Structure 1
Amino acid sequence: MPARHTPRVRRVYDPPEEADGLRVLVDRLWPRGLSKDRAAVDEWPKELTPSTELRRWYHEDRSRFAEFQERYEAELTGAEQARALDRLVELAKDRTITLLTAAKDVDHSHVPTLVAAVRRGRPSG
């Protein structure tokens, strides 16, 4: 089985770099003030982002981060989310992928949970 690359993580507002490989936007909403050309996004799997309800719940109280991560992990087990995660895991097997977000505090966003899920992989089906 080929080695899985750990996804890179960058802010979508940063200029694209050749080392980014496949650029995947992992936010549900398109970043404000950013043109599609400037963003240079290759894929935008909205089903891999936290639900609107979960996102709003977390934004009401940022001290809920640990519970937010647990709830987001649970969302990733849904059928549609699992298919999208499987695809990301497959893409990461043979190329560099960069997960892009507009979040200012990336460490306290959904992105670390998603990176861990890609690194861990998951059985298809």
Structure 2
Amino acid sequence: MPSPDAVVLKGVREEPTPDDGLRVLVDRLWPRGVSKQRAALDQWAQDAAPTTALRKAFHSGELAWPQFVDAYRAELVKRPEAAAAVAELRGRALTGRVTLLFAGHDHLRSHARVLREAILGTPDPNLP
């Protein structure tokens, strides 16, 4: 499994830095107001993002954060394209740093934290 410092989280609007390593956008939708040049992406892993239905349920308040985390964890295992994306990102993290970029403003309740947990293969004690 990759070391915890091999997978880091960063808002897509934050400045790119040389120590970011592989910069991967992990949102299903392109972030508003961010140009491709500004994002400085190496990869866009849409298959690793929550499904549209799950994302909408969480943002509408239909799902609370703990229920969203459980549902997204299940998606990352059960959806073949999501599981493949996690495996590919895990492989990349074994050879260098991977920075998961996301557009949300809430860094504590971001799907990227759940995805990082899946890539590392170890539970995040700060997630429900």
How far off its partner does 1:62 sit? Answer: 7.6
8 Å CA contact 2:26–2:46 kept in 1: the answer is yes
User: Secondary structure of the residue that 2:9 maps to in structure 1?
Assistant: strand
How far off its partner does 1:5 sit? Answer: 3.4
C-alpha distance in structure 1 between counterparts of 2:3 and 2:96, whole Å: 7
User: Secondary structure of the residue that 1:9 maps to in structure 2?
Assistant: strand
Query: How does 1:66-85 map onto structure 2 within 5 Å?
Result: 66-77=66-77, 78-85=79-86
C-alpha distance in structure 2 between counterparts of 1:74 and 1:110, whole Å: 13
Number of aligned pairs? Answer: 119
User: Secondary structure of the residue that 1:32 maps to in structure 2?
Assistant: coil
C-alpha distance in structure 2 between counterparts of 1:39 and 1:5, whole Å: 25
Query: How does 1:31-42 map onto structure 2 within 5 Å?
Result: 31-42=31-42
2:125: which partner in 1? none
Gaps of 5+ in 2: 123-128
CA distances 1:61-106 after superposition (whole Å, capped 9, x unpaired): 1870000000001111111111111000000001001000111002
TM-score in terms of structure 2 length: 0.88
8 Å CA contact 2:65–2:109 kept in 1: the answer is yes
Gaps of 5+ in 1: none
C-alpha distance in structure 2 between counterparts of 1:43 and 1:12, whole Å: 12
8 Å CA contact 2:22–2:99 kept in 1: the answer is yes
Identical pairs, percent: 39
RMSD (Å) for aligned C-alpha atoms: 1.5
C-alpha distance in structure 2 between counterparts of 1:5 and 1:73, whole Å: 20
8 Å CA contact 2:12–2:39 kept in 1: the answer is yes
How far off its partner does 1:15 sit? Answer: 1.0
8 Å CA contact 2:48–2:76 kept in 1: the answer is yes
2:103: which partner in 1? 102
1:30: which partner in 2? 30
C-alpha distance in structure 2 between counterparts of 1:56 and 1:106, whole Å: 18
TM-score in terms of structure 1 length: 0.90
Query: How does 1:1-125 map onto structure 2 within 5 Å?
Result: 4-6=2-4, 7-61=7-61, 64-77=64-77, 78-120=79-121
Moved beyond 3 Å, runs of 4+: none
